[in-house]
Chains A and B, each alone.
Chain A
Amino acid sequence: MLMKPLCHSLCIIISLLSLHAQTVSGDDILMRVDRAMNSKTRIITSTMVIHGRRDSRTVESVSHQRGTNDAFTEYLAPAREKGTKMLKLNDMLWTYSPSADRTILISQHMLRQSVMGSDLSYEDMMEDPHLPNLYSAVVSSEDTVKERACWVLDLSAKKDDIAYYSRRVWIDKVRYIILREHLFAKSGKLLKTVDITDMINVQNRWTIKSALYKDVFKEGKGTEFYINSIRFDEVIPDHIFTKASLRR
C-alpha cells in the first residue's frame, strides 16, 4: 500500500526532472560544461598514440596550463621528440627543437598543420576552449553514450573566423562533460570526431581520462589521447610561461 504513493511521487519527480531537462537551454548547458571543464591551472602528463597507415607512434608529454590562454608543453618521448617544447601565449605559439637549438615562432599558416603527425592541428590545440564564447547552442535531442544519458547540442558559430562552423556535442547530463564531439565544415560535411573513451574523478571533478580523435577523411584509427596524471589549480611559477623556459 505504501509503495504505490512512493512510485507515484517518484514518477512525478522524474517527470519534473525531465521537464527541467527539456526546458534548459543549450547555451545554459554549454555554460555549465565550461564551468565544469575549466580550471585556473592544470598540469597534465599525457600519452598520444598516433595511428598511421603503416605503424603507430607514441608521444608522451607534460603540459602546464594557466587559464585558457597560456600553455607550456614539453615532449618526453619518443627519443626523437624528447626535449621539444612548445609555448602558447594567447594566440602565439613558439616551438623549441633541441636538435636545432632554435626557438621558432609558428606562423599563423603553420598552425593549421598537424601536431606530430596526429589528427590534431596546432590550431585545434590553441582554440579558445570556452565554447560559449564561440558558439550558440541548441538542444537537438537526447542520447546515451557509454551508458550515460546525454544532451545532444548543435552548436553554430557566433563569429566568421572560427575553424569549425558547426559542431554537435554529446554532453553528460550529470557530469557536464563532453562525451562525443563532431566537427563540421561550413558545407555541413563532417570533418573530425572526438570520442571520450574514459573519464576519471580527480580532486572532486570529472575529467577526461582518454579520448580518440579522428580526422574522418584520413585512413587509419585516428589518434588516441590518454591522460596519465592531472592536477588542478596547482601553483605554476610565472617563469614557466616565458620564452626563456623553452631553452632550459
Chain B
Amino acid sequence: MLMMKLAYRNIIGAGMRTWLNVAALSFAFVTIIFLKGVYNGMNDQVERATIDALYGGGQFWHERYDPYDPQSFVDAHGIIPEVLRPLIKQKAAVPILMRQGTIYPGGRFRNILLKGIDPQQKILAIPVSTLTDRDGTIPAMIGTRMAKHTGLHTNDCITVQWRTSHGTFDAREVMIVNIFKTTVQEIDNDQIWIPIDIMQKITELPDQATMIIINKESKIIPAAPGWNFKDLNFLLQDLHSLVEMKSMGGSIFYTILLLLAMLAIFDTQVLSIWHRRKEMGTLMALGMTRAQLVGLFTLEGSFHGILAALVGALYGIPLLSYVARNGWGLPQSTDNFGFALGDRIFPSYSLGLIIGTTILVLVITAIVSFLPTKKIASLKPTDALKGKMT
C-alpha cells in the first residue's frame, strides 16, 4: 500500500509531464476502442443486412449455379426438389429463379439479371408484396441504384428481352411498380424482380428455381440431390475476410499510435531514473531493496496506464456512446465499395473489447515501464547517493 501511495504521489508530483503522457495514452486508448468498435459494427451491420435481404438462414444452390460466373445462370436451374417443397409450402423457404436479360433504357444496351420471387414470401426483407399485377403487364421491382443508373421511375414501362429455356428470344413490357432502397447491392445492381410464377411461365421453366433460400429459424437442413446447401459460414466468408483485412489495416494505425504513447512513457521512465538517482540512493539507504525500487518505478510507469484509462473513460464514454447512438456518416462514394453499409456506420463496443483493450494497454505500459528500471538492479546505494549510476 505504501508503494502504491508513494508511486501515486510521485507521478502526480511530476505535474505536466505525467498529464502529457496520460493524454497521449488515453488518446491511443480511445482510438483503439473506437476503431475496433467501428470494424465490429461494420461487420455486424453488413452481416445483418445481408442475412436479412439475401442469405436468410442459408441457400440451396442448383449444382450449376456459380455466382461469380453470370454465364452459368443460363443452365443453373432445376425442378424444385421434393424434400424442399414442404418448407416452401410452410413459407420456411423461398425459391428464386434467375435468368439473364437485356433492357435498353434510353436506347442503350444493358445486361440485367431477371429474378423471380414469390410476392408472398416473408423470409427476405425485400418489399416484394408490391409485385401485384397491373392491367395485365408484368409487375417489376428494382432498387434505387438500378433506378438511378437506368433513369427508371415508378409506373414506367420498359421492354425486357430474355431467352426462353430453349434459347428462343422473348421480349415483353414490364411495369416498375416499386423502387426499393436497400444497403445490399447484391439484390439491387442490374436486377429486376418479378413474380416467380410469371418468370417460370415466360422462361418456359415451370416449377424450376436457381436457388432456394431457407429462413433463419430452420434447424434441420434436408439433403437435396443436385442442389448444394451453402450455410451462413460459407456465404459470409467473403465478408468476414474483407472485414478482417480492413481491421488489419486499421490495426497498423493504432499500433503506431500505441508505439508513440509507449515511447513517451519509456522516455519519461529513463529521464525519471536519471534525475532521481539521489532519491533512489536515499530510499536504498533507508532499507528499500533493489527489487522494491524496481517495483516502485514500474508501478509509477504503470500508473500512467491506469490514469490514461480513467481520463480516456472520462471523455471517451460520452463520445463513443454518442457515435454508437447516432452512427458515423459515410460519404456517398462508400456505396460503391461493395459493402452493405448504408449511409452510416454504427460502431459496436462489446465488454470484451473494452476489457481486452484495457488489459492489453496496461500490460504493455507495465512492460515498457519496467524495461528502463533494469539499470536499478546493479545500482550501488553509495554511488546513487553521490548522484552516480553504476
Interface residues of A (CB under 8 A from B): 53, 107-110, 112, 114, 157, 160-165, 183, 185-187, 189, 191, 215, 217-220
- Listed by A's residue number, 29 A-B pairs whose Cβ atoms lie within 8 Å are A53-B107, A53-B108, A112-B163, A114-B109, A161-B166, A162-B168, A163-B167, A165-B168, A165-B169, A183-B169, A185-B172, A186-B164, A187-B170, A187-B171, A187-B172, A189-B159, A189-B172, A191-B161, A191-B169, A215-B109, A217-B102, A217-B104, A217-B161, A218-B107, A218-B108, A218-B109, A219-B107, A219-B108, A220-B107
B169 touches A161 (CB 8 A): no
Are B168 and A163 in contact, CB atoms less than 8 angstroms apart? yes
Given A107-B71, A161-B168, A185-B170, check contact A219 B106 (CB 8 Å): yes
Contact bitstring B177-220, A, C-beta under 8 A = 1, else 0: 00000000000000000000000000000000000000000000
Closest beta carbon of chain A to B344's beta carbon, Å? 38
**Using a CB-CB cutoff of 8 Å, which residues 147-166 of chain B contact chain A?**
159, 161, 163-164, 166
Q: How far apart are A149's CB and chain B's nearest CB, in angstroms?
A: 31
In the complex, per-residue mask of B48-76: 1 if CB is within 8 Å of any chain A CB, else 0: 00000000000000000000000100100
The residue of chain A having its C-beta at the shortest distance from the C-beta of B111 within the complex is A113
Q: What chain B residues lie within 8 Å of A160 (beta carbons)?
A: 166, 168
A-B complex: 9 closest residue pairs judged by Cβ atoms: A219-B107, A217-B104, A160-B166, A185-B171, A109-B71, A186-B170, A189-B171, A161-B166, A185-B169
- Interface of chain A, helix or strand or loop or mixed? loop
Residue of A nearest to B170 (CB): A186
A109-B71 Cα distance, complex, nearest whole Å: 6
Known pairs A109-B71, A217-B159; A186 contacts B107 (CB<8 A): no
Distance, CA A107 to CA B72, complexed state (A):
11
Task: Give the complex CA separation of A161 and B165 in angstroms.
Answer: 8
Given the complex of chains A and B, what is the CA–CA distance between A220 and B172 in angstroms?
Answer: 21
Question: Interface residues of B: mostly helix, strand, loop or mixed?
Answer: mixed
Once the chains are docked, how many angstroms separate the CA of A223 from the CA of B108?
15
Which of the listed residues B167, B168, B169, B170 has the most CB atoms from chain A within 10 Å of its own CB?
B169
**With A218-B107, A218-B109 as contacts: A186 and B159 at CB distance below 8 Å:** no
- Collect the chain B residues with CB atoms within 8 Å of residue A107's CB: 71
Question: Which residues on the A side are within 8 Å of B169 (C-beta)?
Answer: 163-165, 183, 185-186, 191
Considering the complex, give the chain B residue whose CB is closest to the CB of A184: B169
Separation of A163 and B164 alpha carbons in the complex (Å): 9
Given contacts A109-B74, A218-B109, contact A157 B168 (CB under 8 A): yes
Bound CA span A69–B169, Å: 23
Closest residue of chain A to B167 (Cβ to Cβ) is A161
Chain B min CB distance to A183 (Å): 8
* Docked pose: A164 CA to B106 CA in angstroms: 24
| Residue numbers in A under 8 Å from B170 (CB-CB) | 165, 185-187, 189
On chain A, the residues within 8 Å of B159 by CB distance are: 189, 217
How long is the Cα–Cα vector from A22 to B170 in the complex, in angstroms?
A: 32
Q: If the complex has contacts A217-B107, A217-B161, A218-B109, are A110 and B168 also in contact, measured as CB distance less than 8 A? A: no
A187 CA to B169 CA in the complex, in Å? 9
Smallest CB gap from A217: residue in B:
B104
CB contact under 8 A between A191 and B171, given known A53-B108, A109-B74, A112-B163: yes
Chain B residues, CB < 8 A from A189: 159, 170-172
Contacts A110-B71, A189-B170 known; 20 new A-B pairs at CB < 8 A: A53-B108, A107-B71, A109-B74, A114-B109, A161-B167, A162-B168, A164-B168, A165-B168, A185-B171, A185-B172, A186-B170, A191-B169, A191-B171, A217-B107, A217-B159, A217-B161, A218-B109, A219-B106, A219-B107, A220-B107
Provide the bound-state CA to CA distance between A183 and B171, in Å.
12
Contacts of B172 in A (CB 8 A): 185, 187, 189
Return chain A residues, CB-CB under 8 Å to B168: 157, 160-165, 185-186
By beta carbon, the residue of chain A nearest B166 is A160
Separation of A191 and B172 alpha carbons in the complex (Å) = 11
Residues on the B chain within 8 Å of A157, using CB = 168
